[in-house]
Amino acid sequence: MYDLMIYPDAGQAESAAARIIIEQVRKKPGSVLGLATGKTMINIYDILWKWENEGEVSFSSVKTFNLDEYLGVAPENRDSFHSYMRRSFFMQLQKKPAEVHILDGSAPDPELECREFERRIKESGGIDLQILGLGRNGHIGFNEPGSPFGSRTRVIDLSESTRLYYMKNLLELREVPGQALTMGIATILEAREIVLVVTGAAKADAFHKVINGPVDVDVPGTALSGHHCVKVIADQAAAQKLHGHDIKVLKFKRATRP
Ligand code: GLP
């Protein structure tokens, strides 16, 4: 069962998600956080670093693990998810996290890189809180439709729709790589708590399938229904197609600042 919180607009949903992360880090300063990239996360990171700069929270003891990275793209490339994370979050902080782990897209042996990543997650004690966005095709991380729910961190082929979507964001690359490294679905499901953030009308169909549809490997987000602690935060635009009695909390809550 999901704990579903629908907010009137994206801003309130983002601030609710940021609040959950801040509360987690205040409760356990050495938290292991699973982080995501994408448009949805930009404002969430903005809230987090601003609060850190004001001394309201510190990420200095936190360990972070990112969901995914393009295969063949070096950390220094402006289109890498390493760069995204530096720009959107890490560079803005007064004190950097104790450890930052992002898959290296330029690793000479990508399979080994994935295995090492899994090992480091285990070594850190496992992910306490995993933040997820939702792809328009229902993907989580870069686990594209058809990804087995038992999958671990691995190399994956990106779908044409995903590549097309990312095309417009490119800064340096001429085209979106055909493959990526991604945390697997089983890896994601091992996080102690998961927060899925879904905003905007473009996600309404995928979100409807995740919440109301049957569990289906072609909609990777439906794997989350097998997890015991998932908070789903959405705005009204993304939630416009939801229905049914399985929705436990479907009301507007007032979002307060973290
Ligand atoms: C992307 C990323 C995910 C992200 C999601 C949503 O493809 N691999 O980590 O959370 O899909 O992206 P956006 O927020 O840009 O819609």
Is residue 252 domain-resident?
no
Is residue 41 domain-resident?
yes
User: How high is the pLDDT of residue 258?
Assistant: 52
For the chain, what is the domain count? 1
Q: Find, among 19, 53, 13, 40, the residue nearest to 234 by Cα.
A: 13
Q: Is 37 in the pocket of ligand 1 (CB under 6 A)?
A: yes
Is residue 245 domain-resident?
no
- Tens digits of residue pLDDT in 89-124: 999 999 999 999 999 999 999 999 999 999 999 999
Is residue 257 domain-resident?
no
**Alpha carbon distance 162, 144 (integer Å):** 9
Looking up residue 111, the CATH number of its domain turns out to be: 3.40.50.1360
As a whole-number percent, the residues of the chain with pLDDT over 70 amount to: 94
Is residue 246 domain-resident?
no
Is residue 158 domain-resident?
yes
Q: How far is CA 20 from the centre of its chain?
A: 14
CA 202 to ligand 1: nearest atom:
16
Is residue 180 domain-resident?
yes
Measured in angstroms, how far is the CA atom of residue 133 from the centroid of ligand 1? 5
pLDDT at 188 over 50: yes
CA 139 to ligand 1: nearest atom:
11
Is residue 254 domain-resident?
no
Q: Is 142 in the pocket of ligand 1 (CB under 6 A)?
A: yes
As a whole-number percent, the residues of the chain with pLDDT over 90 amount to: 91
φ, ψ (nearest 5 deg) of residue 56: -80, -20
Q: How much is the pTM?
A: 0.94
Measured in angstroms, how far is the CA atom of residue 52 from the centroid of ligand 1? 24
Q: Is 14 in the pocket of ligand 1 (CB under 6 A)?
A: no
> b or e along 240-253 (b: 16 or more beta carbons within 10 Å of the residue's beta carbon)?
eebeeeebeeeeee
Quote the domain boundaries for residue 11.
2-235
User: How high is the pLDDT of residue 243?
Assistant: 84
For the beta carbon of residue 159, count every other beta carbon within 10 angstroms. 17
Q: Whose CA is nearest to atom 11 of ligand 1?
A: 135
Using DSSP's 3-state secondary structure scheme, residue 232 falls into strand
